[in-house]
Structure 1
Amino acid sequence: MPKAVRYDEFGGIDVLRVEDVERPVPGSGEVLVRVKATGIVISESSIRTGAVANIFPSTFPSGQGSDLAGVVEEVGEGVVGFTAGDEVIGFSDRRSAQAELVVVDAEHLTPKPNEVPWDVAGALYVVGVTATGAVRSVNLKPGDTAVIAGAAGGVGSLAVQLAHRAGATVIALASETNHDWLKRHGAIPIAYGEGVGDRIRDAAPQGVDAFIDLHGGGYVDLALELEVVPERIDTIADYAAAAKYGVQTHGGAEAGPAVPILAELAGLIAHGELELPIAKIYPLDQVREAYKELELRHTHGKIVLIP
C-alpha cells in the first residue's frame, strides 16, 4: 500500500504521521502521479495548528502538501496530453501531495523539463507562484529600486531574481550568511537589525520605488517611512499592517493562472536563468524533522520531502 502524511487533529509537529493508505484511483479529468519530490511551506504549519482554520478549515484525517513533481502512473477518463510515464510538475489543491501516490487534476500539471532536478521541480509551485505574484504586484520597470525583506527564503530567493530580471535594482534584506548568494544573483544585500532603514537609504540614495515584505514584523511601516507609495508595497506576511495602511497583499492567485507560471519558471530553471536553492532533503518518514527545521524560519531556499 502507498504511504502518505496524515494527521487527525490540530496541533504541533507531533500530530504528523506517515501511514499506509488505499491506492488512489484517478477519476474523470484526473491523473495519478507517483511523487518523486514534494516541497513544504510554512503556511502548512499554520493550517495544521488550526491558526487559520477560519480561512482554511480541515476535515480529519487530513493530508498535507501542495507542491509536487513526479511520474504519471495512470490517467483517468477524458485526460489528454498526459500518458503513463510522463514526467510532470504540478500541485494538489486537496492537501495531499506529501504522499507516494497522489491524484491530481490534469489541468494542474505541466511537463517537467529534463534539465530541472526532481527536488527543484517538486518545490516550485507555491514559492514560484507567490514570488511571481508579489513581483508583478509592485509593477517593476527598468531603473526602479525595490527592497525585498525575507530575501533568502524560498519565495524571496525567486522574488530577488524575478525583480532583477524585470530591470530593477534589488536591495535584499537577509541574514549575512546569505549575502554572497544574493550578490551572485544581482542583489545588494543588507543585514537585518537596528539601523536597517539607514542602510537602505545609503544603498538607494535616489530613493526606493517598491517594497516587497515576505518577513513581517514592521517592514510595511519601514516601507512607508522610506516614502514608498502604498500601491507599490506588497506584503504576504503582515495582513494587519496591510489593512491599516491599504497596501497590497498579492501572491498566489493574484499572479494569474498557476500552470503557465510553473511552465515559464521551469523553463527558466532549465536554461540556467533562474535558481531555486534547496536547503535540505528529507525522506517522507522524517516529515516531523523537516517541519521542525522549517519552523525555525532560517532556511535558505526550500526544504523537500522525497517519498
Structure 2
Amino acid sequence: MTLDNPNYIHFSDPVHLNGLVFFTCTNWAYGKYNQYVLNPTTRKIFELPHPASLTDRGHGPHCYLFGFDESRNEHKILMVRRLLFLPKVDIMIFSMTNYSWRKIDCECPVAFRWYTLYGDIYGSVCVNSVVYVMLRGSVDILAFDFTTEKFSMIGTLPGFVPRELTTRYTLDGKPLYNGNKAVLIKINGCIGVVCHDNVLLSNEMHIWRLQDNENRVWVREVITLPKPCVELDHPYPLNVSNMDEIILSSGKVSGNVICLPIYNKKSKRCKVLRFTLGDGFLSPETVEFKQIKCYAESIMPL
C-alpha cells in the first residue's frame, strides 16, 4: 500500500485494533500533520479530515491516540493539541462512525504536564475502552476512557526506577547501551509494562501487569530468555500473539530472510520464525522494520 504524499519524514508507530491500523505522518519542516486509518485485509485506506481550525497558526504540537469505545462499538481517535502562547490545550475526538470531529471539555489529571505527551511516547495500548500511553521522560501512564471521556493517571510502578542510557558495555565486541526504557503492551486482557534492563547480561525480562485497574494492583513476572534468543538481537517485546506467546523484536536480516523470535511463557522456550522477503521489497538494505505485530483480519469498511 502506497501513500499519495511522499514528502513525510516521520511516521508514528502504527496501532492495531480489531483489524484496523492507525498511524500519523508528519513533515516538521512544512508543519504538516496527516492521519490515516487503513484495513490491510480490504486494502482500503482513509485519511482523516483536519478539524476546521487545525490550520490556525495558534496551534502547536499534536498527539493522536487510537482507541475503541466498546459501549458504542466504534473506533475513535483522541487528539490533543497544544495552543501556542497559551497554557491550555484543545482536546477533540474523531468518530469512525459519523466521520466527524468534536471538541470535548475535560479536566486534566492533577500535576500532569501536557508537554510529556508529545515526542517519543513509545506507542499506546487500548484495553476495555481505555487508551493508555506512557509519558515521555517518566514511567507514569496517562489513561483516557472513551466511554466517560475522562483522563486519569497511573503512578510509578513499584520497584521500577528509570535510568538514562549512560552505561556502555560490549558483547562479543559489539558496542551496546544499557538502559531500561519501559514499553507498554497488552497481555492477558490487561496492560503490561515491560522493562528489558540488562537483558543482554542477565537474560531476564521483567513484565509488570496491571491485574486490578481500580485498585492499581500490579503483578510482576520475570522471564528468563534462552541465550540463543538473546543472541539474535537486543530483544524487547513487540506484541503478545496469544495468552502465552510474546513476540520479541529483531531487526536482523540475513540475505533476504528476517528472523522473528517468539517466547512461550508455558514452555519457557523461544522459537524463531523466518520470513523471506518477496518482490515487494527492493532489497534488505532499503527496508527498516519498524514493527512486527499480530494482525486480526477484518472486512470492516472505512
Q: TM-score, normalised by structure 1?
A: 0.27
Bigger helix share: 1
